[in-house]
Amino acid sequence: MSFGDPNNPYGPPQGQPQGQPPGYPPQAPPPQQPGYGYPTAPQGHPGYGYPQAPPVPQGYGYGVPQEMPGLVKTARVLLFIIAGFQFLAGVIIGIAAGALQDTSNAFGSGDESSTATGVIIAIALLMLGLGSLSIFLGVKFKTGRSGIRITTLVYSSLMILGSLANIVQGGGGSATFGGVISLAIGGIILSAMISGGAWFSRPRY
């Protein structure tokens, strides 16, 4: 008996695999295993279904403000404004001292007024120096550390003491009015330095 005889009427038709009943479609090939030229399906989302935490901003620690506090910004602006008035006062006082000395020299009393002129010039230089300090502190608010904060604390405290002296000795005149304004500005700056310690002590990377 021969197998696969094409003339056998009881054998499977030509092209039909052995063991497959006639009339049925041929069996589908087995599925290919991954890694044999077929792309694999994605194995899930990263994090196994849990949302990933947002990136931590660099340069700041936990609980540290990421932006300069509003009161500290106000104190910085006030320092710049004070510096402008201090420079202006220093220039005006210096010009007045020079004019006074020229007048005294014209009347032949330059030696007698030289001491007073020297005092006025010293006041003018002091105002210019304070103006430079105000600008320096205001600029350093952005990157300064605790030393800038302590210096500004002392500076604002002295400003408050000077304002109180002007209020007491002003007699209700222009000195009293200027003392009130200076007292308000010094109080704001002092409050900003007391409450803004976290900004000046933040970690740096």
pLDDT given for residue 92 in this prediction? 95
**pLDDT surpasses 70 at 187:** yes
Number of domains in the chain: 1
Domain membership of residue 90 (yes or no) is: yes
Q: Residues 1-27: pLDDT tens digits?
A: 445 555 655 555 555 555 555 555 555
Q: Which two tokens stand for residue 20?
A: 């497959």
Domain membership of residue 60 (yes or no) is: no
pLDDT given for residue 76 in this prediction? 95
Give the integer Cα–Cα distance in Å for 116 and 133. 26
User: In this structure, which long-range contacts are made by residues 184-188, counting pairs with CB atoms below 8 Å and at least 24 apart in sequence?
Assistant: 185/78, 185/81, 185/82, 185/159, 186/156, 186/157, 186/159, 186/160, 187/156, 187/160, 188/71, 188/74, 188/75, 188/78
Domain membership of residue 80 (yes or no) is: yes
Q: Residues 107-140: pLDDT tens digits?
A: 666 666 678 888 899 999 999 999 999 999 999 9
Domain membership of residue 123 (yes or no) is: yes
Domain membership of residue 117 (yes or no) is: yes
The whole-chain average pLDDT of the chain stands at: 77
**pLDDT surpasses 90 at 191:** yes
Q: Which domain holds residue 161?
A: 70-200
**pLDDT surpasses 70 at 189:** yes
- Kindly report the number of other CB atoms within 10 A of residue 70's CB atom: 10
pLDDT given for residue 59 in this prediction? 46
Domain membership of residue 46 (yes or no) is: no
Domain membership of residue 50 (yes or no) is: no
Domain membership of residue 49 (yes or no) is: no
Arithmetic mean of pLDDT, 92-100: 89
Q: Residues 72-91: pLDDT tens digits?
A: 999 999 999 999 999 999 99
**pLDDT surpasses 60 at 149:** yes
pTM: 0.64
> pLDDT grade, residue 169 (50/70/90)?
confident
Q: Residues 40-80: pLDDT tens digits?
A: 555 555 555 555 655 544 444 455 446 889 999 999 999 99
